[in-house]
Amino acid sequence: MLSLIIIIWVIFNILSGGYILRAENIANLFRQVTVVAVLACGMTLIIVSGHIDLSVGSALGMFGALAASMITQMKLDPYFSVATVLLIGFLVGCGHGALVHYFNIPAFVVTLGGLIAYRGVTQYIARQSIAIRVEWIKAIAQGTVPNWFSIVLMAAALVIIAAAILRMRANHRKAGLAIHPMWIDIIKYIFSAAIIIVLTVVLIQGEGVPVQVVILLVAATIFSIGARMTPFGHYVYAVGGNRQAAHYSGISIARNTIGIFGLMGFLSALAGIITISELSSAAPDIGDLKELETIAACVIGGTSLMGGSGAIGLSVLGALIMASIKNGMSMMGIVAQMQKVILGSVLVIAVALDQWSRRLKK
């Protein structure tokens, strides 16, 4: 995935006359990918468990409009408003999970109804654009972190990646599984570290690392650790791999289903706040089609639509690949209609490659 991103950047950088890898465009690229990548963190767990959520785009718009209305029209405290919207997002997501589990309504139907209903609520709340004037909220998507913090963040990322590699090797050795030579992991680490260091240096030379990128990294790290190192995360994969076997193993399907949809609702609310911060307002059409981009990012990142397989980090990279292609095509002057055709083709090819690789494994 990292190699593919580098190839895309290099090709578009050549075709655009060297504009793609400029600091201001890299920062803009990361701003473009944040919302979809944040949603992809939750959508990966949803798909891994064998479900789908079509409402995240409309929910994003609804929660963003609700936060803007509470702050600007109702004159409520901004901190209270943001916290309340995040809580409501979690509860709405739990409601989706309860409908799916206790009423045996397919998640496709539940969230399709949410897609329609939440879009109507958004259009009602934000009939006219609602401006955001709170500086710290606007800084979420428009501000940057200090350079020293960027360096600390870079160092932390390098340490986390090294620890993850060592932990994986230790777990494989403990389980008696085959381990590939150490030099392969060293090359992977050097390659990943080089990308992180170069990107950090490039961003620091520009305006700095955007605040919303830090939010994305924190969310992705927390969800990745939760998915791979906690019982709840293991249960998600177990349920998606074999629901009946998971049930007979004593895993609570209800708690698992409600939990993943609740987390998805929370991330939808967070993405809504980031969106109104970026636009400095709430409009009736915010979040439009974000659900499709999110699902596409997960599929491109290798998450299987059959459930049981997927990784949050790869879904984030999938979102970055999509954003990189869109950004590169825009720099080349390709019209928006053709961009959609190309992105749709990329999605179909990604699914075809996923199915092909599965047949090879079998």
Structural domains counted in the chain: 2
Based on the domain organization, do 130 and 156 belong to the same domain?
Answer: no
pLDDT in tens, 154-197: 999 899 889 888 988 888 888 888 888 888 889 989 988 988 89
Looking at residue 211, its pLDDT comes to: 93
Q: Are residues 165 and 238 in the same domain?
A: no
pLDDT at 351: 73
66 and 189 co-located in one domain: no
Which helix (H) or strand (E) element contains residue 53? none
Residues 106 and 44 in one domain: yes
Q: Does 329 share its domain with 344?
A: yes
Contact (CB, 8 A) for 166 and 174: no
pLDDT at 140: 92
Q: Does 188 share its domain with 235?
A: no
Tell whether 193 and 334 lie within a shared domain: no
β-strand partners of 130:
282
The pLDDT assigned to 301 comes to: 87
Q: Is the dihedral of CA 289, 294, 299, 304 positive or negative?
A: negative
39/117 same-domain check: yes
Query: Which of 184, 209, 234 represents a domain boundary (last residue)?
Result: 209
- Across 55-86, b (16+ Cβ under 10 Å) vs e yields bbbbbbbbbbbbbbbbbbeeeeebeebbebbb
For residue 25, the model assigns a pLDDT of 85
DSSP string, 183-219: HHHHHHHHHHHHHHHHHHHHHHHTT--BHHHHHHHHH
Please tell me the distance from the alpha carbon of residue 115 to that of residue 268, in angstroms, as a whole number: 12
The residue written with tokens 């777990």 in the block is 171
Q: Both 178 and 232 in a single domain?
A: no
Q: Are 251 and 322 contained in the same domain?
A: yes
| Domain end among 209, 231, 255 | 209
Using the structure block, give the residue that is written with the tokens 């409402």. 55
pLDDT digits (tens, 9 = 90+) for 78-89: 999 999 999 999
Contacts of residue 35, Cβ cutoff 8 Å, sequence gap at least 6: 60, 271, 274, 275, 290
Whether residues 136 and 153 share a domain: the answer is no
CATH number of the domain that residue 60 is part of: 1.10.3470
Regions of the chain with pLDDT less than 70: 354, 358, 361-362
**Whether 108 and 192 share a structural domain:** no
User: Does this model's pTM top 0.95?
Assistant: no
What is the model's pLDDT at position 86? 97
Last residue of a domain, one of 161, 190, 209: 209
List the domain range (segments joined by +) for residue 328.
2-143+210-361
Q: What is the pLDDT of residue 307?
A: 82
Q: What is the pLDDT of residue 310?
A: 86
> pLDDT of 211-254, one tens digit each?
999 999 999 999 999 998 899 999 999 999 888 898 898 999 99
What the block records as the tokens of 4 is 């593919």
